[in-house]
Amino acid sequence: MADRQEYERVAQEALPMLYKIAMGILRCDADARDAVQQALLKGWEKKENAQAGKFRWYLTRILINECRNIQRRRMRVFPAEIPPAVSEMPPDYQDLYDAIYQLPEDLRMPLLLKYVQDLSEKEAAAALGIPVTTFKNRLHRARKTLRKTLDREVMFE
């Protein structure tokens, strides 16, 4: 990626995806925006390291690392977890998203990348920096845990 116009085009296309990923990890609008902004800045600074045609996934990897940095800083500042931000979703899906956000991050991220961001298993695994088989395993465990959680909620209604 050699010029600024190409970078801006790719960054604009990736922006909605990056924001959704950051919200999936951080669950706070302000932190998600900060993470995306930092990822875009670092992506520009290190654009030479990205392979041709894979810059979106390079940005995703940077974003995930930036989200983890924000989480580490949060742990030093806030003793309790920040409540999830209210997102724009149909009310019918609120229980599903609540259940997804209750999953641990290693199970939540494969679900969000695969089904919300519509990435292939290979792309999502690369974004998380894990082998495809590990990604598939985590995705399976996440769906199984989510199914149990939602079934339990239905039983108690």
Burial of 25 (0-12, 13-18, 19+ CB in 10 A): buried
Q: Of residues 133 and 117, which shows the higher confidence score?
A: 133
Mean pLDDT to the nearest integer, 56-60: 84
pLDDT at 42 exceeding the cut of 70:
yes
For 3, left (φ over 0), alpha (ψ -120 to 50), or beta? beta
62-73 confidence digits (pLDDT tens): 999 999 898 888
Mean pLDDT to the nearest integer, 93-105: 80
Share of the chain above pLDDT 70, in %: 81
Mean pLDDT to the nearest integer, 120-128: 87
CA dihedral 42, 70, 19, 81 (to 10 degrees): 180
**28 and 82 Cβ atoms separated by less than 8 Å:** yes
pLDDT value at position 153?
Answer: 64
Burial 6-23 (b: 16+ CB within 10 A, else e): ebeebbeebeebbbbbbb
Mean pLDDT to the nearest integer, 82-90: 49
**54 and 75 Cβ atoms separated by less than 8 Å:** no
18-31 confidence digits (pLDDT tens): 998 998 888 888 89
Task: Give one DSSP letter per residue of 38-56, joined into a string.
Answer: HHHHHHHHTGGGSPTT-HH
**What does DSSP assign to residue 1?**
-
The whole-angstrom distance between residue 26's C-alpha and the CA centroid of its chain comes to 8
Q: Provide the greatest CA pair distance for the chain.
A: 57
pLDDT value at position 48?
Answer: 78
pLDDT at 125 exceeding the cut of 70:
yes
27-31, 45-49, 80-84, 121-125: range with lowest mean pLDDT: 80-84
Task: Give one DSSP letter per residue of 71-127, joined into a string.
Answer: HHHHHHH-SSPPPPPP----GGGHHHHHHHHHS-HHHHHHHIIIIIS---HHHHHHH
pLDDT value at position 89?
Answer: 53
